[in-house]
Amino acid sequence: MTLSEKITTAPGAHATEPAGARRASRADRRRARRSREGMPVGAGRSRVAGGLVLLGLGLFTLYSIAPVWWLLVSATKDQRDLLHSNGMWFADFHLVDNLEQVFTYNDGIFFRWLLNSLLYAGGGALVCTLIALGAGYALSRFRFPGRGAALGAVIGSFLIPYAMLTLPLYLLFSRLGLVNTVWAVLIPSFISPFSVYLAKVYIDGAVPDELIEAARLDGAGELRIFVQIVLRMMTTGGATVFLLAFVQNWNQFFLPLTMLRGEEQWTLGLGLYAWNAKRDEAEIDLSALVLTGSLLSIVPLAVFMVAMQRYWRTGVTLGSLK
Partner 1 sequence: MSTTMSTTPVTGEPKGTAGPRPGHRHRPRWRTLRAIKGASFAAPFFLGFLFVFVVPVGYAAYESLFSERSSGLGIGGQERVFVGLDNFTRGLSDGAFWASMARVLAFACVQIPVMLGLALVMALLIDTLATRTAHRFRLAFLIPYMIPGVVAALMWMYLYSPRLGPLTDAFDVLGVHVDFYASEMLWGSMGNLLTWHGLGYNMLIIYGALLAVPRELFDAARVDGASELRIALTVKVPFVRGALVLTGMLSIIGMLQIFNEPLLFRQVAPETVTKNYTPILMIYNQAFDANDYHYAAALSILLALVVGAVSFAFYKLTNRPQA
The reply to whether 18 sits near partner 1 by the rule CB under 8 A is: no
The reply to whether 219 sits near partner 1 by the rule CB under 8 A is: no
The reply to whether 47 sits near partner 1 by the rule CB under 8 A is: no
The reply to whether 229 sits near partner 1 by the rule CB under 8 A is: no
Nearest by Cα to 256 from 194, 189, 175: 189
Interacting residue with partner 1 among 11, 213, 235, 253 (CB under 8 A): 253
The reply to whether 305 sits near partner 1 by the rule CB under 8 A is: yes
Cβ 108 to partner 1 shortest distance, Å: 20
The reply to whether 126 sits near partner 1 by the rule CB under 8 A is: no
Interacting residue with partner 1 among 51, 67, 177, 208 (CB under 8 A): 67
Site string for partner 1, 91-120 (x = CB under 8 A): ------------------------------
The reply to whether 33 sits near partner 1 by the rule CB under 8 A is: yes
**Nearer of residues 143 and 283 to partner 1, judged by Cβ:** 143
d(CA 318, CA 270): 31
- Provide the terminal-to-terminal Cα distance of the chain, rounded to the nearest Å: 32
From the centroid of its chain, how far is CA 198? 14
In sequence order, the 6+-apart residues with CB closer than 8 A to the CB of 81 are 91, 92, 94
Nearest by Cα to 259 from 270, 250, 268, 274: 270
**Nearer of residues 13 and 268 to partner 1, judged by Cβ:** 268
d(CA 99, CA 111): 11
- Position 108: which residue type? G
Site string for partner 1, 133-172 (x = CB under 8 A): -xx-xxx-xxxxxxxxxx--xx--x-xxxxxxx-xxx-xx
Contact assessment for residue 256 and residue 124, using Cβ atoms and an 8 Å cutoff: no
Cβ 38 to partner 1 shortest distance, Å: 7
Nearest by Cα to 297 from 130, 114, 132, 169: 114
Q: Which of residues 255-294 bind partner 1 (CB under 8 A)?
A: 258, 268-270, 272-273, 276-277, 287, 290-291, 294
Cβ 6 to partner 1 shortest distance, Å: 9
The reply to whether 53 sits near partner 1 by the rule CB under 8 A is: yes
The reply to whether 26 sits near partner 1 by the rule CB under 8 A is: no
Phi, psi of 287 (to 5 degrees): -55, -50
Contact assessment for residue 275 and residue 289, using Cβ atoms and an 8 Å cutoff: yes
Cβ 216 to partner 1 shortest distance, Å: 9
Stretch that binds partner 1, among 90-98, 108-116, 233-241, 314-322 (CB under 8 A): 314-322
Cβ 322 to partner 1 shortest distance, Å: 8
From the centroid of its chain, how far is CA 162? 19
Q: CA–CA distance from 203 to each of 126, 142, 317 (Å)?
A: 18, 12, 16
The reply to whether 218 sits near partner 1 by the rule CB under 8 A is: no
